[in-house]
Amino acid sequence: MKRELKFDLDAVFVEDGCADSALATRVLQSIPRDVPVTHIADAREAARPESGAPDPFGAGKRRLVIARRKTPFLMPCPAGSSKFACCGYLVLTLASNCPMDCSYCFLQEYLADNPAFQVYANFADSFDELDRLCANAHGRTFRVGTGELADSLAFDSITSISRDLIDFFSARENLTLELKTKTDEIENLLAMDPRGRVLVSWTLSPDVVYRSSEHLTASPAARIAAARAVLDAGYRVAFHFDPLIAYPDAERDYLLLIDELLDVVPPNQISFISMGGLRMTPRLRGAARGRFPNDPKLCGEDVLSADGRFRTFTPLRLSLYRTLAERFKKASATIPAYLCMEPASVHEHVFGATPARPATIGERLARS
Ligand code: SF4
């Protein structure tokens, strides 16, 4: 069935050997008739930046490439580091890049050399990797997400990969799937039974940040409404306040956003929250400011920190963390919370406690 897409799609490329895959069939049946489809020998050609385009990264987001993934699907979260108090997240890379366009998105640097939106025809091979992980893990529980190098649901209306994932994870006691999104693309989810094994998480920002910086995403109100709908359908839900952006009325706006969230989603039904400050390497900062020269949220008070990233001036960042953490604690003292890409000292300052080891946090979040 042809679908009306929420995102622009200029072209589809299908790598040789993928044309008969279930994924290619689904995509080609769903895209509008006027989107040109080209068969190519090597997907890397179509994934590269378009030479001569005024915004090669933006143009890449509008090209969909169906390819075979030749490297493992499962890996530790690339944001993880021994310098940070990490959350033990495992990343399943089933797609690369995202049709939405947040001005601060780290993919502008990470995927600068291959910006096309890629989906992997052999994605079901990832299930073998996950079964091998479980077979060797002796009773451990893992939280596995697909939303690190792509939004988990952005093109789900044409790939329907969420259905395969939910089928797989709903039958695995020691795995929790996290679908991370800024969309309200939940139609496939509502047709499935997650059996308690699937968590859907939304990144939330105040309306003013959504308008200035989160282009083509669903509005914060639409994300919260979608969270309520999947909660009622048996999914667990979580929320990421990341990046937290410090601007003159930020504290007021984030508290209003939390009130709006808690009016719709009861605090005792939130599996966890995460927070992370705006952080950009010099290369990302240059790329972001070049692509979005009028976004004031990219020009706050930041300093170059020891890990080589520009971060919001520490007192501003810590004050925002504490304000949000206290608001959630007031709503329910038992909502698990963690910080993304922050050292243990910041964690202690915000939560008044030493963070647990990444693997322990990962297991707790997978079960919560
Ligand atoms: S929704 Fe996420 S992945 Fe997509 S552009 Fe925004 S930050 Fe990047």
Task: Write down the pLDDT at residue 176.
Answer: 93
Ligand 1: which atom is nearest the Cα of residue 106?
Answer: 8
The neighbouring-strand residues paired with 277 are: 244
Dihedral sign from CA coordinates of 252, 258, 260, 262: negative
- What CA–CA distances, in Å, run from 258 to 32, 46, 153, 183, 248? 38, 42, 23, 18, 18
What is the C-alpha separation between 332 and 280, in angstroms, rounded?
Answer: 32
Neighbouring residues of 286: CB distance < 8 A, sequence distance ≥ 6: none
> Tokens standing for 66?
């169906």
Task: Write down the pLDDT at residue 264.
Answer: 98
Helix (H) / strand (E) element for 170: namely none
Q: Which of 48, 67, 60, 51 is nearest to 9 (CA)?
A: 60
- The strands making up 302-304's β-sheet, listed across from edge to edge, are 279-280, 310-312, 302-304
Distance 100 CA to ligand 1 centre (A): 6
Residues 288-326 have pLDDT tens digits of 999 999 999 999 889 999 989 999 999 999 999 999 999
Q: Pairing between strand 74-76 and 63-67? A: unpaired
> Tokens standing for 366?
């997978």
Residue nearest to atom 2 of ligand 1 (CA): 151
Residue type, 276: G
> Tokens standing for 157?
């209306």
pLDDT above 90 covers a percentage of the chain that reads 78
Lowest mean pLDDT of 196-205, 219-228, 258-267, 300-309, name the range.
300-309
- Using CA atoms of 241, 334, 201, 188 in order, give the dihedral in degrees to the nearest 10: -160
Task: Write down the pLDDT at residue 357.
Answer: 66
Q: Which residue has the higher pLDDT, 256 or 6?
A: 256
Distance 213 CA to ligand 1 centre (A): 10
Has residue 114 got a pLDDT over 70? yes
- Answer yes or no: is the C-beta of 182 below 6 A from any ligand 1 atom: yes
Q: Is 166 exposed, middle or buried (0-12, 13-18, 19+ CB in 10 A)?
A: buried
220-234, 292-306, 339-353 — most confident range = 220-234
CATH class of 72-113+123-367: alpha beta
Distance 137 CA to ligand 1 centre (A): 32
Task: Write down the pLDDT at residue 84.
Answer: 66
**Residue 113: band (very low, low, confident or very high) from pLDDT cuts 50, 70, 90:** very high
Has residue 358 got a pLDDT over 90? no
Q: Hey, which of 62, 97, 102, 153 would you mutate to test ligand 1's pocket, going by the most ligand atoms within 8 Å of its Cβ?
A: 102
Task: Write down the pLDDT at residue 353.
Answer: 82
**Residue 85: band (very low, low, confident or very high) from pLDDT cuts 50, 70, 90:** low
Determine contact, residues 209/165, Cβ cutoff 8 Å.
Answer: no
Distance 330 CA to ligand 1 centre (A): 30
